[in-house]
């Protein structure tokens, strides 16, 4: 067994996890797909965006399911289950008849959301088990690939849609997702017994608990609620501003081309944030890193309120970077406080904060449009959320 532990090439396992995530950016390409959905099924913008919103919300349920699957099966089997569900969802979406467009909510919204959530959660938990000494870096690499995937998939999907058809695009993406997922999952297994047994968490600057909390125990701690609500506040700002960024470009004195360029750069910088910020947190500490990110996010949101000209897209891109930083660091923060053994299921419950934000934000965006303050109200809410998140993090003491 000792020899088997020594032969583990965890860098290769990390790269294979990143390889699986190459197709995880399908959801982030929905803005490219949506116009074709509208045309093919004769839907308006609101109806065509429902599968996207449902996918985002159900993703959290899939993540919780992924955490439970890891408790019953091996990591590799959990990955295969998630990959297969995602493949079935994409393949069935290609077969949805024109007369029944609501089925896309089931196939893409629910099935793909669950499948992607299972794979996402399983990979994060697996990488933290292989890199207990560099949890932030390992998590950041996996999450960074989601942004890279969106950057790669968007032009490929656009080419398929413009040169072939919506149906063929979903079929091709379904089989590419299946092939990439199966190849990558073949190399990812549970760490052998005794792996990293000599690792002492007290030798690093990042404090972490020596206890492995069961989900029920975790839900009974105040740390869980502080972290989950802090995550909600962390992502609220970007989720509120992102849907309105292009719409407001004219009144902020930038061209449509400049706005679209900023959106592309935001995708790249969000991916960078997912990698850079959690890697920094491995060295200086999770709490201090997140405090700085909250302060920077609050300052940027305040700046966006009155920003015009090129300052407007620059601040938006910077906000995307810190949003990615939040998403990359919270998984490691959760493991620091609740242990590595049940990292998958515990972080899935922390992600309820993310799921709540994904449901709340579209409602808030529509609600503020009818008020006197308009979009300024949503910016005020985003800024207040960042400040509240900062306060919640300040109250978070070191794990026992």
Are the C-beta atoms of residues 233 and 385 closer than 8 Å to each other?
yes
366-390 burial, b at 16+ Cβ within 10 Å, e below that, comes to eebeeeeeebebbbbbbbebbbbbb
| 153-181 tens-digit pLDDT | 888 888 999 999 999 999 999 999 999 99
Is residue 274 within a helix (H) or strand (E), and if so which, with residue range? helix 256-284
- Domain with residue 386: its CATH number is 1.20.1250.20
- CA dist., res. 166 & res. 312, Å (int): 35
| 117-142 tens-digit pLDDT | 999 999 998 998 899 888 889 998 99
Judge if 113 and 228 occupy the same domain.
no
Judge if 214 and 241 occupy the same domain.
yes
Q: Give domain status of residue 191, yes or no.
A: no
Judge if 144 and 219 occupy the same domain.
no
Tell me what pLDDT residue 7 has: 67
Judge if 125 and 238 occupy the same domain.
no
Judge if 367 and 266 occupy the same domain.
yes
* Cα angle: 314, vertex 318, 320; to 5 degrees: 120
276 compared with 376, residue with greater pLDDT: 276
Q: Give domain status of residue 134, yes or no.
A: yes
Judge whether residue 365 has pLDDT over 70: yes
Tell me what pLDDT residue 252 has: 82
DSSP per-residue letters across 68-99: HHHHHS-HHHHHHHHHHHHHHHHHHHHT--TT
CA-CA-CA-CA dihedral for 176, 270, 143, 387, to nearest 10: -140
Q: Give domain status of residue 194, yes or no.
A: no
Among 157, 185, 213, identify where a domain stops.
185
Judge if 164 and 261 occupy the same domain.
no
Tell me what pLDDT residue 222 has: 93
Query: By residue range, what is the domain housing residue 354?
Result: 204-394
CA-CA-CA-CA dihedral for 27, 290, 230, 369, to nearest 10: -60
Q: Is 336 exposed, middle or buried (0-12, 13-18, 19+ CB in 10 A)?
A: buried
388 compared with 31, residue with greater pLDDT: 388
Judge if 247 and 360 occupy the same domain.
yes
Among 135, 155, 185, identify where a domain stops.
185
Are the C-beta atoms of residues 60 and 348 closer than 8 Å to each other?
yes
Per-residue confidence band for 392, with pLDDT thresholds at 50, 70 and 90: very high
Q: Give domain status of residue 197, yes or no.
A: no
| 258-287 tens-digit pLDDT | 887 887 788 889 889 999 999 999 889 899
Per-residue confidence band for 4, with pLDDT thresholds at 50, 70 and 90: very low
For residue 213, give the 3-state DSSP assignment.
coil
Q: Give domain status of residue 193, yes or no.
A: no
Q: Is 339 exposed, middle or buried (0-12, 13-18, 19+ CB in 10 A)?
A: buried
Judge if 10 and 97 occupy the same domain.
yes
Quick one: how far is CA 262 from the chain centroid?
Answer: 20
The share of the chain scoring above pLDDT 70, in percent, equals: 93
Q: Give domain status of residue 81, yes or no.
A: yes
Per-residue confidence band for 300, with pLDDT thresholds at 50, 70 and 90: very high
Judge if 72 and 221 occupy the same domain.
no
Q: Is 72 exposed, middle or buried (0-12, 13-18, 19+ CB in 10 A)?
A: exposed
Tell me what pLDDT residue 369 has: 67
Q: Please state the rounded mean pLDDT for residues 10-15.
A: 92
Tell me what pLDDT residue 373 has: 64
Q: Is 84 exposed, middle or buried (0-12, 13-18, 19+ CB in 10 A)?
A: middle
Among 152, 185, 218, identify where a domain stops.
185
Judge if 156 and 260 occupy the same domain.
no
Per-residue confidence band for 30, with pLDDT thresholds at 50, 70 and 90: confident
Q: If you average pLDDT over every residue of the chain, what do you get?
A: 87
- CA dist., res. 331 & res. 139, Å (int): 7
Per-residue confidence band for 193, with pLDDT thresholds at 50, 70 and 90: confident
Per-residue confidence band for 202, with pLDDT thresholds at 50, 70 and 90: low
Q: Give domain status of residue 199, yes or no.
A: no
Q: Give domain status of residue 190, yes or no.
A: no
For residue 341, give the 3-state DSSP assignment.
coil
The share of the chain scoring above pLDDT 90, in percent, equals: 47
Judge if 351 and 225 occupy the same domain.
yes
Judge whether residue 391 has pLDDT over 60: yes
Judge if 376 and 239 occupy the same domain.
yes
Q: How many domains does the chain have?
A: 2
Tell me what pLDDT residue 154 has: 80
């Amino acid at each position: 067994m000792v020899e088997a532990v020594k032969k583990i090439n965890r860098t290769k396992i990390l790269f294979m996890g990143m390889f699986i995530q190459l197709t995880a950016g399908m959801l982030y390409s929905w803005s490219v797909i949506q116009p074709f959905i509208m045309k093919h099924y004769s839907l308006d913008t609101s109806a065509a965006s429902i599968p996207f919103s449902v996918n985002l919300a159900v993703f959290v349920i899939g993540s919780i399911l992924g955490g439970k699957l890891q408790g019953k099966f091996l990591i590799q089997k959990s990955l295969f289950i998630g990959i297969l569900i995602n493949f079935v969802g994409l393949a069935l979406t290609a077969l949805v008849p024109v007369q029944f467009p609501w089925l896309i909510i089931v196939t893409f919204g629910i099935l793909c959301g669950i499948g992607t959530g299972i794979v996402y959660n399983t990979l994060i938990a697996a990488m933290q088990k292989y890199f207990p000494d560099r949890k932030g870096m390992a998590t950041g690499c996996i999450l960074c690939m989601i942004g890279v995937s969106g950057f790669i998939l968007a032009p490929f999907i656009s080419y398929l849609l413009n040169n072939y058809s919506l149906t063929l695009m979903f079929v091709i993406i379904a089989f590419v997702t299946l092939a990439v997922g199966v190849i990558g999952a073949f190399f990812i297994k549970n760490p052998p017994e005794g792996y990293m047994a000599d690792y002492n968490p007290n030798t690093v600057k990042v404090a972490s608990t020596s206890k492995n909390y069961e989900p029920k125990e975790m839900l009974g701690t105040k740390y869980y609620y502080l972290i989950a609500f802090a995550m909600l506040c962390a992502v609220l700002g970007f989720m509120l501003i992102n849907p309105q960024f292009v719409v407001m470009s004219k009144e902020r004195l930038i061209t449509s081309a400049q706005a679209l360029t900023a959106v592309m750069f935001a995708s790249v910088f969000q991916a960078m944030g997912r990698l850079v910020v959690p890697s920094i947190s491995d060295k200086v500490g999770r709490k201090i890193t997140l405090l700085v990110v909250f302060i920077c996010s609050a300052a940027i949101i305040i700046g966006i309120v009155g920003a015009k000209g090129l300052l407007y897209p620059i601040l938006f891109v910077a906000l995307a970077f810190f949003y990615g930083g939040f998403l990359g660091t919270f998984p490691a923060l959760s493991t620091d406080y609740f242990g590595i053994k049940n990292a998958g299921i515990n972080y899935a419950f922390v992600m309820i904060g993310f799921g709540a934000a994904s449901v709340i934000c579209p409602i808030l965006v529509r609600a503020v449009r009818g008020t006197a303050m308009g979009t300024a109200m949503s910016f005020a809410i985003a800024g207040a959320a960042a400040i509240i998140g900062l306060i919640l993090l300040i109250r978070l003491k070191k794990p026992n």
